[in-house]
Amino acid sequence: MIKSIMVARSDNHVIGKDNDLVWHMPADLKYFKETTSGHFVTMGRKTYQSVDKPLPGRLNIIITRQDDFYRENCLVTHSLDEALAIGEQNGQREMFILGGAQIYKLALDVADRIYLTEIHGEFEGDTFFPEIDSSIWQEVKREDHEADEKNPYPYSFVVLERY
Ligand SMILES: NC(=O)c1ccc[n+]([C@@H]2O[C@H](COP(=O)([O-])OP(=O)(O)OC[C@H]3O[C@@H](n4cnc5c(N)ncnc54)[C@H](OP(=O)(O)O)[C@@H]3O)[C@@H](O)[C@H]2O)c1
């Protein structure tokens, strides 16, 4: 099973602030939906609660240390490994790790692929994506886009794979 990180990150590595995103980029939301729909997805409890409803058309697996955490129509696990094992056991070809920062930190050690959306701007934030080590990760795809009337910042859809 391919284990894929999915993240949108600014030029100064910000991914969030006050448990929310810091930009509104419909093109990235569309890309996110197209890429992850029909798959199993997993995320940290805080990222889940930033929306607090399951992403439709995907099996949502929440990672928490709490014993009694429950959300309707979601699976709850207590580690990233456990979440990924559910994907393996259910014959998934690719599974998506959706963050946030705490879960990305763990995921960078085990992921095979990163779908990185670069949002070209500098933002204030309180949550950051770790440095992507270019001796470990190879860029295999890049699609650059200008800002437009709906998307206020230039952006790039990048795919990286582990060497
Ligand atoms: N730009 C993007 O692509 C993107 C994507 C996702 C999220 N975000 C942003 O990132 C921020 C949230 O990230 P975050 O780092 O604060 O939180 P997070 O990674 O989403 O969730 C952290 C929670 O996950 C659980 N957890 C973490 N490590 C664990 C482990 N080893 N075992 C079991 N459970 C574990 C804990 O839940 P309990 O406390 O319940 O035990 C912890 O509080 C928000 O601002 C969000 O908008 C941005």
Residue 3's closest CA among 106, 91, 104, 110?
A: 110
Three-state DSSP at 93 gives coil
Q: Which amino acid residue places its CA nearest to atom 36 of ligand 1?
A: 64
Q: Kind and range of the H or E element at 144?
A: strand 137-145
Confidence label for 135 from pLDDT (cuts 50, 70 and 90): very high
Distance in Å, CA 149 to ligand 1 centroid: 31
- Structure confidence at residue 17 (pLDDT): 97
* Helix extents (H) in 44-100: 45-51, 80-89
The count of structural domains within the chain is 1
pLDDT digits (tens, 9 = 90+) for 73-96: 999 999 999 999 999 999 999 999
pLDDT digits (tens, 9 = 90+) for 46-78: 999 999 999 999 999 999 999 999 999 999 999
Q: State the residue for tokens 């910042």.
A: 153
Q: Which atom of ligand 1 is nearest to the CA of 21?
A: 47
- Structure confidence at residue 11 (pLDDT): 98
- Structure confidence at residue 72 (pLDDT): 96
Q: Which domain holds residue 113?
A: 2-162
Task: Name the percent of the chain lying above pLDDT 70.
Answer: 100
Q: Kind and range of the H or E element at 101?
A: helix 101-107
- Structure confidence at residue 67 (pLDDT): 97
CATH number at residue 18: 3.40.430.10
- Structure confidence at residue 109 (pLDDT): 97
Q: Which amino acid residue places its CA nearest to atom 41 of ligand 1?
A: 65
Mean of pLDDT over the chain: 98
- Structure confidence at residue 58 (pLDDT): 98
Please give the angle made by the CA atoms of 87, 91 and 97, to the nearest 5 degrees: 30
Specify the amino acid at residue 146: E
Which residues, judged by CB distance below 6 Å to any ligand atom, belong to the binding site of ligand 1? 7-8, 15-16, 19-21, 43-47, 50, 63-66, 69, 78-79, 98-103, 127
Distance in Å, CA 38 to ligand 1 centroid: 22
Alpha-carbon gap, residue 22 to 20, rounded angstroms? 7
